[in-house]
Chains A and B, each alone.
Chain A
Amino acid sequence: MHELSIASAVVDSVLEYLDAHEVKKVMTVRLAVGELSHVEAEQLRFCYMAITQETAMENSTLEIESVPAIVECPRCSYRGRPKYWADAISAAPIPTLECPTCGGAVEPVEGNDCAIKTVRFVA
């Protein structure tokens, strides 16, 4: 349940901003969650709902936008979407760090982070 750590970081960051400004109520917080980050959206929503109670963020909506992974290959200079492992036993194809063109190891360059994009509030 590291989603609780992430949700706490969201709430701390937003409340810190609110303290410095005259904000009455937060309506929406929009997050950008990278495909390669390990954040489960439903658990994050649940944690967010639980810990925003009795704050200016209570009943606000958490919108989660997914950021696709982009990888780069140091060997063949491929840049683009990762190769997926389709026939693993998971519910969805697994992004891998195998270069789709040369089979070497790629480096992730996008889709690793988890960030607050925007906050909508009433002042």
Chain B
Amino acid sequence: MIQTIEASPDEIYDIELEHSLLEANAKLAKENRSLLDLHGISAIDVMGAIGSGKTTLIGQLVGRLKDRLGVAVLNGDATTSTDADLIAGQNVPVVQIATVNGCHLDANLVGKALRKIDLSNLKLILIENIGNLICPAEFPLGSKARVVVVSVTEGQYMVRKHPHMFLGADLVVVNKVDLAAAMEVSVEELAADVHKLKPGLKVIPTSCKTGVGLDELTAALVAR
């Protein structure tokens, strides 16, 4: 809606634009969601800092799921295809989304990636966002759930340092718990911080090394 006010001739004008800057992405996210719903696919947006273990976790999930249901991975990475290559080794469809200098995936890039794969036999798409615990929060992709991965190697205060990310999360994974004692980081305190921000948010402690929590995470994602 555009209204013109204070219009004195050939002088200064004020217009009210009332134009949302997040709307363009939100609209594309809805389109992605409609496309996914049409095919009966749940997409999960996996977000977390660089080195939090997103790729390894996704690899473990793919390994557990690929014989049970059609799974594909969209792999956001600024420049390299190393993560995508790793997942592609498991013989599931993988699209690498190179953002070049972009600090987050957006719904437009995900929409383009979805057009690259055959959606007909898929049930689950895991979307690995760019390693970043701030920027992706503002850009929904059309996923059914947003998972935030935080690892004990990032220290005790990762949750309270990046509160916005957790406010928008549907599930939180505390990863690398096998290293918690060595890092002197309390998994319980990380979970308590999450619940201070968002009561009732599910927190699953995991380790890709020992396998703890991976079955629970797999089940939680399939339930979506």
Contacts and interface: CB of A to CB of B under 8 A. Distances in A.
- B contact residues, range: 35 or more
Contacts of A37: 22, 138
A47 interface: no
B167 interface: yes
Interface in B139-176: 139, 157, 160-161, 163-164, 167
Interface in A105-123: 105, 108, 113-123
A1 B15 contact: no
B195 to A, nearest CB: 8
Interface in A29-60: 31, 36-39
B160 A89 contact: yes
B22 A114 contact: yes
A114 B196 contact: no
B115 interface: no
Interface size class of A (residues with CB under 8 A): 35 or more
B89 interface: no
A118 B196 CA distance: 37
B167 A117 contact: no
Contacts of A121: 12-13, 15
B18 interface: yes
Contacts of B102: 5
B177 to A, nearest CB: 23
Given A36-B164, A120-B13, A123-B10, A97 B21 contact: no
A38 B134 contact: yes
A113 B167 CA distance: 14
A31 B19 CA distance: 9
B21 A85 contact: no
Given A88-B160, A120-B13, A2 B21 contact: no
A75 to B, nearest CB: 10
Contact of A90 (B13, B20, B22, B160): B160
Contacts of B198: 96-98, 105
Residue from B18, B22, B104, B198 with most neighbouring chain A CB atoms (10 Å): B22
Q: Which 5 A-B pairs have the closest CB atoms?
A: A2-B135, A88-B160, A9-B21, A116-B19, A94-B163
5 contacts: A2-B103, A10-B21, A38-B164, A99-B199, A120-B13
